[in-house]
């Protein structure tokens, strides 16, 4: 047993070092810029979250239900881990090429998935810290809790993501076990990834609707009148760990609180052991032969040869080469293309999980001429945010890897290559705009003129975001990687791109909310302001392109 634990610990450390691949070519000044931008983004966001949590506590405390704040925070963190855990574990367990190197080594399946699970768990702590830490700290200060509360809070924070990540891991392994069949591995990996994400979305929606439908309004009213945290444990019935940890923290001053926390820890550890046992049974069967692919054998006729050799422009050829690369590479498809489709759908999750009365509401206020300009600015900000999360433009050169030297010998100018990459980012990003527009027309009763103007400003936003991403990747592309996941998931350029676009999105939304301009004024303001920035960025990219390619060693 001791030897197994030692191997697990060694493997986990190696996986962590391998996973924390850094872009060594990034200059120190750019690292300083990233740090400053992150701090500028973090301070107002953290302040806003703390203020919101404090407001929620005051509202719950006035009804004697302050414990609901803990349940809400822990439940939200669990949903976040469950949903995004599916995507992350797909990459870590199956799409990462280190799996091929680990299979011949003297590690059992449970040790491999155990080490990878711990790595994923460490990254999840960063994700839930923005939700859970403010809740735990604000509740402790507001409720004037004792030292045991903060000790229990530490264990609650450590154990909260375990069970939802286990659920995500089981979903991934079962789906990949039965979709990773046949010879067309790339296609089946993409299908398995899509099924996993759709299943996670459906599970989230089902849980939320089930929980909502099983709450009797009259019972809730009676419990609310009783006060003394009588509602605790009633809203998250399908997530027992949420109830157990919340009760343990609320009653931390008594022996009952200790029992609840110990039970919570025990359930989390038991779920991890079940995950290791199940992984030992099915993981290898889903991962063996993962890198194999099938070569298509065709007999070309003269007509087929003519069709395949139709002359296209340099821009068109390179553009479709980029699109095919994004669609055919599982890691790029899941992390870049699919996120353009799922991003807008994330906005629908709270609506779809709400009660049916929501869809009978009148959204006529969205057609008020006095507010449509404001909503157009907010929509533009959402497009910028979604464009920053996909990483298509900010990894355009990084995805070439060590083979980028081939681009220096192509009979295509550097600027044409870069514009084709910009075009691919805009083309894929259009799916987000079309989905948001369809949602607006069908659910929020957008007027047709508003929808048309939203598409126009959305295209402006995509063009601006693409140039910003290309410029970032020009100055410090991450070319030294051994698997595609590192090019997109462990690339600091994506973070920098997202932070810059968040600043512009936040500024645009802030100005739109404060000024409440007319719709045409918003259109002109966004088009002129960002149009000017796009022209500046175009000249900047043109000037930096040759220097950037010259720095690439053959």
Least confident of 23-27, 85-89, 324-328, 378-382: 23-27
Q: Are 293 and 188 in contact (CB under 8 A)?
A: no
The candidate with the shortest Cα–Cα distance to 210, out of 230, 233, 237, is 237
- Count of C-beta atoms within a 10 Å radius of residue 277: 10
Confidence band for 466, pLDDT divided at 50, 70 and 90: very high
Of 50-59, 97-106, 327-336, the poorest mean pLDDT is in 97-106
Q: Identify the band that residue 427 occupies on the pLDDT scale cut at 50, 70 and 90.
A: very high
pLDDT recorded at residue 458? 93
pLDDT tier at 420 (50, 70, 90 boundaries)? Answer: very high
Give residue 301's pLDDT band: very low, low, confident or very high (50, 70, 90).
low
Asked whether residue 215 carries a pLDDT value surpassing 60, the answer given is no
CB 93 within 8 A of CB 283: yes
pLDDT band at 41 (very low <50, low <70, confident <90, very high): low
What are the residue ranges spanned by the domains of the chain?
A: 2-19+40-215+228-289, 313-551
Higher pLDDT, 345 or 465: 465
| pLDDT higher than threshold 60 for residue 48 | yes
Q: State the Cα–Cα distance between residues 362 and 345, nearest whole angstrom.
A: 21
489-515 tens-digit pLDDT: 778 888 888 888 988 998 899 899 898
Distance of alpha carbon 461 from alpha carbon 454, whole angstroms = 10
More confident residue, 463 or 281: 463
216-225: average pLDDT: 46
Per residue in 110-134, pLDDT tens? 788 888 888 889 888 988 888 899 9
Confidence check: pLDDT of 296 > 60:
no
Instruction: Tell me what pLDDT residue 226 has.
Output: 46
Q: What is the pLDDT of residue 291?
A: 55
Residue 366 or residue 149, greater confidence: 149
**Do residues 49 and 41 touch, judged by C-beta distance below 8 A?**
no
What are the distances in angstroms from CA 499 to CA 41, 367, 433? 7, 31, 21
| Mean pLDDT, residues 78-91 | 79
Say if residue 135's pLDDT is above 70.
Answer: yes
How far apart (Å, rounded) are the C-alpha atoms in residues 433 and 426? 10
Residue 26 is classified by DSSP as S
Can you read off the two tokens belonging to residue 466? 């693409």
* Range 268-290 average pLDDT: 81
Predicted pLDDT at 27: 56
Please give the Cα distance from 523 to 458 (Å, whole number): 10
Return the pLDDT at 168: 86
Residue 415 has pLDDT above 80, yes or no: yes
Averaged over 27-49, what is the pLDDT? 68
Average pLDDT, the chain: 78
Q: Which of 139-143, 150-154, 214-218, 534-538 has the lowest mean pLDDT?
A: 214-218
**Could you tell me what percentage of the chain is helix, strand and coil, using 3-state DSSP and rounding each to the nearest 5?**
80, 0, 20
Task: Give pLDDT, residue 300.
Answer: 58
Residue 401 predicted with pLDDT over 80: yes
**Which of 386 and 107 is assigned the larger pLDDT?**
386
* pLDDT at residue 358 greater than cutoff 70: no
Residue of 61 and 430 predicted with greater confidence: 430
> Average pLDDT, stretch 462-473?
93
Does 288 have pLDDT greater than 70?
Answer: no
Nearest to 372 by CA among 322, 299, 447: 447
Q: Kind and range of the H or E element at 548?
A: helix 519-551
What is the pLDDT averaged over residues 461-487? Answer: 86
Ranking 14-28, 215-229, 262-276, 466-480 by mean pLDDT, the lowest is 215-229
Mean pLDDT, residues 43-60 taken together: 79
**pLDDT computed for residue 269 by the predictor:** 92
The answer to whether 431 and 341 are in contact (CB under 8 A) is yes
DSSP symbols for 71-92: HHHHHHHHHHHHHHHHHHHHII
Other Cβ atoms less than 10 A from the Cβ of 377: the count is 27
**What is the Cα–Cα distance from 50 to 48, expressed in whole angstroms?**
6
pLDDT of residue 220: 43
CB distance 118 to 14 below 8 Å: no
| Predicted TM-score (pTM) of this structure | 0.70
What integer is the mean pLDDT of 369-389?
87
How far, in Å, CA of 320 to CA of 314, rounded? Answer: 10
**Percent residues over pLDDT 90 in the chain:** 20
DSSP assignment string, 212-255: HHT--HHHHHHHHHH-TTTTTTSS-TT-HHHHHHHHHHHTTTSH
Contact 497, 111 (CB under 8 A): no
Which CA distances in Å does 315 have to 320, 321, 420, 473?
A: 9, 10, 6, 20
Span 295-304, average pLDDT:
61
Name which residue leads in pLDDT, 102 or 499: 499
- Residues of the chain with pLDDT > 70: what percent? 73
pLDDT over 60 at 227, yes or no:
no
């Amino acid at each position: 047993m001791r030897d197994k634990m030692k191997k697990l610990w060694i493997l986990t450390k190696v996986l962590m070092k391998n996973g924390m691949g850094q872009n060594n070519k990034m200059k120190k000044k750019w690292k300083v810029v990233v740090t400053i931008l992150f701090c500028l983004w973090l301070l107002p966001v953290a302040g806003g979250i703390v203020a919101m949590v404090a407001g929620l506590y005051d509202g719950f405390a006035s009804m004697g239900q302050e414990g609901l704040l803990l349940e809400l925070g822990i439940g939200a963190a669990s949903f976040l881990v469950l949903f995004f855990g599916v995507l992350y574990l797909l990459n870590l367990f199956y799409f990462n090429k280190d799996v091929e190197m680990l299979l011949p080594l003297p590690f059992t399946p449970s040790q491999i998935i155990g080490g990878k699970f711990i790595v994923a768990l460490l990254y999840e702590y960063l994700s839930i810290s923005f939700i859970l830490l403010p809740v735990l700290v604000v509740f402790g200060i507001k409720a004037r809790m004792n030292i045991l509360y903060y000790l229990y809070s530490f264990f609650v924070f450590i154990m909260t993501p375990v069970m939802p990540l286990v659920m995500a891991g089981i979903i991934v392994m079962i789906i990949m076990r039965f979709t990773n069949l046949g010879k067309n591995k790339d296609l089946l990996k993409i299908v398995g990834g899509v099924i996993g994400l759709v299943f996670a979305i459906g599970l989230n929606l089902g849980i939320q609707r089930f929980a909502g439908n099983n709450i009797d309004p009259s019972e809730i009213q009676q419990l609310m009148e009783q006060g003394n945290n009588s509602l605790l444990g009633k809203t998250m019935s399908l997530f027992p760990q949420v109830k157990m940890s919340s009760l343990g923290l609320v009653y931390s001053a008594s022996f009952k609180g200790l029992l609840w926390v110990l039970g919570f820890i025990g359930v989390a550890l038991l779920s991890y052991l079940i995950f290791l046992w199940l992984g030992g049974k099915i993981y290898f069967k889903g991962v063996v032969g993962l890198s194999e692919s099938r070569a298509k054998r065709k007999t070309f006729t003269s007509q087929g040869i003519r069709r395949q050799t139709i002359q296209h422009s340099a821009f068109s050829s390179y553009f479709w080469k980029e699109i095919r690369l994004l669609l055919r590479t599982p890691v790029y498809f899941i992390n870049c293309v699919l996120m353009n489709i799922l991003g807008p759908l994330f906005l629908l999750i709270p609506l779809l999980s709400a009660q049916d009365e929501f869809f009978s509401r009148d959204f006529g206020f969205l057609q008020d001429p006095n507010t449509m300009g404001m909503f157009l600015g907010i929509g533009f900000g959402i497009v910028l945010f979604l464009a920053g999360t996909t990483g298509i433009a900010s990894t355009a050169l990084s995805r070439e890897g060590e083979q980028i030297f081939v681009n220096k010998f192509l009979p295509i100018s550097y600027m044409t290559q870069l514009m084709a990459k910009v075009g691919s980012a805009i083309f894929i990003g259009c799916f987000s705009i079309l989905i948001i527009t369809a949602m607006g027309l069908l659910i929020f009763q957008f007027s047709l003129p508003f929808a048309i103007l939203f598409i126009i400003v959305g295209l402006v936003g995509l063009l601006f975001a693409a140039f910003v991403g290309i410029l970032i990747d020009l100055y410090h592309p991450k070319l030294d990687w051994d698997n595609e996941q590192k090019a997109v998931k462990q690339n600091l350029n994506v973070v920098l791109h997202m932070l810059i676009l968040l600043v512009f999105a936040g500024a645009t939304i802030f100005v739109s909310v404060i000024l409440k301009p007319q719709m045409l004024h918003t259109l002109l303001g966004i088009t002129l302001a960002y149009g000017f920035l796009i022209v500046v960025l175009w000249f900047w990219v043109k000037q930096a392109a040759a220097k950037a390619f010259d720095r690439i060693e053959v």
